[in-house]
Structure 1
Amino acid sequence: MEEQQNTVTTYEKIGGEATVARLCDRFYELMDVTPQFKELREMHPADLKSSRDKLYMFLSGWFGGPDLFVEQFGHPRLRARHMPFAIGVQERDQWVACMVLAMEDVGIEENIRKILIGNFFNTADFMRNREG
């Protein structure tokens, strides 16, 4: 008989719902007020609530918690959903840099941040739809 493994998800490791919510809040706060994220901010609507809520729902499932985004919107189809926006190296790098700062600010442990940075970079790079 196989022994069932109790795998602790990233969602649980970082503190669950409360931390994911704080991470999303901080991410959009930083994007909104930090001059180095100007181009990234300009790609978003004036009111960031919907963007924040969608990121929260997505990250909840992506981190191994409740799959809120899929429950409400279906498969994320990230690339297709981001196709209307011109995303190049600058936008990718701004998104990742903003997320790195947000993770630091909400206190996600360094060893977890290092893994997440790689995952976020790969995902953000996959969103690129233009050169440069």
Structure 2
Amino acid sequence: MSEFYEAMGGADGIRKLVEAFYPKVQEHPLLAPLFPEDIAPVMEKQYMFLTQFFGGPPLFSEQYGHPMMRARHMAFPITPERAEAWLGCMKKALQETGWEPDLQMAVLERLKGPAFHFINSSSN
């Protein structure tokens, strides 16, 4: 396991982050329309992906194969504004974890790359 994953609290820490994050997504006017009403399967996939992304067990790959996250997100119109909104929701969720501010910032910084990589639509 990576030090990053361990610093985040391992499986429990990742679960806590995902559970804090998705209510914010569901309430966000730019993001909510992209997600199904039953958010539980999305949350589980996010938990598996973040576990793997931050150096824990390769849960996502074991269940679904290579993440190929950009390809998996192509069906959804992801604009720069939506990427920023996603990161904003994540920042709020990170603040609720109680993790050290430096760790929160490091996690957010690490997620910026993928968030902007998924952009596939221009601004409206």
Bin for the TM-score computed over the shorter chain:
over 0.9
Deviations 1:30-56 (A, max 9, x none): 2223xxx21211100011001100000
Q: How many residues align?
A: 123
Which residue, out of 59, 77, 91, partners 1:86?
77
Match of 2:109 in 1: 118
Percent of aligned pairs sharing the same letter: 33
Match of 2:20 in 1: 26
Match of 2:34 in 1: 43
SS of 1:39's partner is coil
Contact 1:20 1:56 (C-alpha < 8 Å) held by counterparts: yes
Match of 1:102 in 2: 93
Q: Does 1:63 align with 2:57?
A: no
Give the CA deviation at 1:130.
1.3
Q: Gaps (5+ residues) in structure 2?
A: none
Q: Which is higher, the Rg of structure 1 or of structure 2?
A: 1
Superposition TM-score, scaled by structure 1 size? 0.88
